[in-house]
Amino acid sequence: MLRAITHALTDPSRVLAAIAALRGRTEPEAIQGLIEVVIEPLSAKAAQQALYALEPHPGESIDTAIAFALTSEQSSIRLLAAQILHRRNSTIAIPELRQRLRTDSSWPVRRASLHALKSDDAILDAASDPHWRVRHSLIQRLIDDPKVILGNTPRIDGVRTYLAYRRSGGIPSLDVLRYEDESPRRCPFWDWDPAVMAHTLDQMGRNGRRDAIDVMPFLVGHEDERVRNRAFDTLRADGELRHFIEMLSHLDEPRSESCEAVRKWIDALDGDRREELAFAVLQNETGAGAIAWAISQVDRLFPRNEAPARLERLIGDPNTQPLPIQQALRRFVGPEVTETKPSMSQERAAELIRNPERESSWRELHQAAKIMKVASWTLEPSPLWEPPIRIELPPEPLTLTRKSPPLMRQLFPLGDVCPIGISGHYGLPVEGFARAFEKGVNLFFWEPNYSTLTEFSSRLSPSNRRSVHFVAGTFEADGKKIRKDVERALRQLRIERLSLFLIFWTQSWQRITPELLDTLVQMRDEGMIAHYTLSTHNRPLALEAMDEGWNPLMVRHNAAHRGAEPEIFPKASEKGVDLITFNVTCYGRLLQPRPGTITPSASDCYRYTLMQPAVKTSFTAPSTLEMLDENLSVLDDPTLPADRLEALLAHGNALYEDENAFRNLVRIR
């Protein structure tokens, strides 16, 4: 039976079921089969499930297989491999983990690799990482570690200065904190809202984008894929050689998303264009990433003896070159080393065909059959293993009874709402949404990847579903795309109308185009949405929105970031604008202990925002039932005593000082 199950690992239609059947089995054949799935996966899902199945088992061969998964083309597999290696405390993969930290294009993979490296000095490479979250993880590691960070770039300087501030408790000077992003200077139509940038590029048309062609190599490095794609398309259609050379500067930072995108885009060019570009790069002064790419094209596009003389100079002294160039030159200095799997001999293949039961690896058996020109199906077990038949019943519908909490508030234009709304961001179990519903919650915040909230809505009875308000939104600025976002929400939530539709993370009035407003009004008139409004961190924009009649508004407020209190709340009360608050625990950072202050509870953070004038409701995003119960305790006990309020504000002040330093020294660099 075991051989039949491991044989199923080679079949795409049965591999996941076979992996499930092998979970917990310790026979060498089972372990070997799972390792082969990791090394030569039939799908990303199969590799992930095999990694999970192997994780509980000790052994160097398993560590080696997990380390091999770090080289996968799929970032999800690399991420899982790094996380498992961290949990296993393995040292086998240290070289590959260092490589991931230095070169991986996915910041979650780099952060996981940083955690897995423990105290290795290679973690200091993260001080220059393009993503602030990776630098933040390094800072957390180094707060009590005296390691010295070398280098003089804005990112490294910021990390070093922030660490000095945290260790000493002193406040950095304004000169140290000052940092200017060059983006508005580089791009004349720059906007901090990515949706606005993408929409602006669309509205410019081909002629407008061609007139702005000189800025397109810079926009290829934009954090938003929509902007990058429009810049790529413009360069493909109208770019000159100098634009392509400038674009290749993004290859100097392999850890950026734009690096991977540029490499794929360049490789998709026709051979003549790539040859011209590679030749030009080797003739001119360019960055290490561009040179390494050009070297990789030698022999692929044109013979080495036709390459510029500069290549000969690079080959002549490779050890003085930056690491990317050294790696690219390896095949030119000495014999090229290629790691290959030992080939199977004719004798061994013949032996395996005679006695297939002596080999546990079906891939080895299939190779032997190929060598001996034998049909591989003749070696298959008989009968073939088939997964047990599983009858999956649809989840039971939920018929719930909701009580009306005494704190219900009037939120324009929805009417009575619970002062606590629930977001599905962190995957609260369906049971949690049901519990919140029964405690009186009637406001739920949804996005497309909130699978448990989607399931909760689908299981509600029609009458229950009609009794709650679903809030959704969009990151887009294009009318057609916004309509698709609404249609998807209605379809997945199984509702006829969204109670409130938000323009998420609005950072600029350029986002609110006549086309966008027309689309929102049309959808409201068609009954797809009951009302629409803005969600923003930008206080000046929120103030302008109130003057323009936007009501309600969704704004950030917590005990660390209290700027809304003197600026937004009084004006909202004056104009009768209802407010929804979010980010009330500062993404959990208010719940972390800080020296010299008392750590508040999550419920006190919600009590604080709900005691503010004009705040009608606040969204919370618990991930567990325990967190949900803590947050909902506000409904039964809304009072925040003076001593707890004082402690909360002191804790918030300390966090704000830290957040301000972190933002200026680390996050925006």
Question: Which residue in this structure is represented by tokens 């259609």?
Answer: 237
CB distance 84 to 51 below 8 Å: yes
Residue 163 has pLDDT above 90, yes or no: yes
Q: What is the pLDDT of residue 169?
A: 73
Residue 664 CA: distances (Å) to CA of 157, 248, 340, 457, 657: 11, 29, 49, 41, 11
Residue 34 CA: distances (Å) to CA of 16, 146, 361, 379: 11, 42, 10, 20
CB distance 55 to 30 below 8 Å: no
Q: Would you tell me how many other CB atoms lie within 10 Å of the CB of residue 548? A: 11
- Provide mean pLDDT across the span 295-321: 77
Q: What is the pLDDT of residue 405?
A: 67
CB distance 177 to 661 below 8 Å: yes
Considering only 117-121, 130-134, 648-652, which range has the smallest mean pLDDT?
A: 117-121
- Provide mean pLDDT across the span 150-163: 92
Contacts of residue 598, Cβ cutoff 8 Å, sequence gap at least 6: 647, 650, 651
Positive or negative torsion for Cα 516, 517, 523, 524: positive
- Provide mean pLDDT across the span 445-455: 97
Distance CA(263)–CA(200), nearest Å, equals: 26
Q: What is the DSSP string of 377-419?
A: GGGS-SSPP-PPP---PPPPPB-------TT-EEETTTEEE-S
Structure tokens at 250: 């993004």
Considering only 83-92, 166-175, 525-534, which range has the smallest mean pLDDT?
A: 166-175
Residue 373 CA: distances (Å) to CA of 34, 348, 366, 367, 663: 27, 14, 10, 10, 65
SS3 33: helix
- Provide mean pLDDT across the span 449-478: 95
Residue 335 has pLDDT above 80, yes or no: no
Confidence of residue 339 (pLDDT cuts 50, 70, 90): very low
Q: What is the pLDDT of residue 177?
A: 64
**In this predicted model, what pLDDT tens digit does every residue of 385-427 receive, in sequence order?**
999 887 777 888 998 988 776 689 999 999 999 999 999 999 9
Structure tokens at 535: 């969600």
Q: What is the pLDDT of residue 337?
A: 40
Q: What is the DSSP string of 315-329?
A: HHSGGGS-HHHHHHH
pTM of the full predicted structure?
0.86
Distance CA(421)–CA(425), nearest Å, equals: 12
Residue 541 CA: distances (Å) to CA of 512, 580, 583: 12, 15, 18
**In this predicted model, what pLDDT tens digit does every residue of 204-223 receive, in sequence order?**
999 999 999 999 999 999 98
Counting residues of the chain whose pLDDT is more than 90, the rounded percentage is 70
User: What is the total residue count of the chain?
Assistant: 669
Half-sphere exposure of 446 (CA within 13 A, CB side): 32
Half-sphere exposure of 443 (CA within 13 A, CB side): 24
Distance CA(479)–CA(519), nearest Å, equals: 5
Q: What is the pLDDT of residue 526?
A: 97
* Single-letter amino acid code for the residue at 306: E
Task: Give the burial class of 285: count Cβ atoms within 10 A of its Cβ; 0-12 exposed, 13-18 middle, 19 or more buried.
Answer: exposed
Residue 171 has pLDDT above 90, yes or no: no
Single out the residue of 376, 381, 387 nearest to residue 349, CA to CA: 376
H or E stretch at 621: none
CA 270 to chain centre: 32
**For residue 413, cis peptide bond before it (omega within 30 degrees of 0):** yes
Q: What is the pLDDT of residue 174?
A: 58
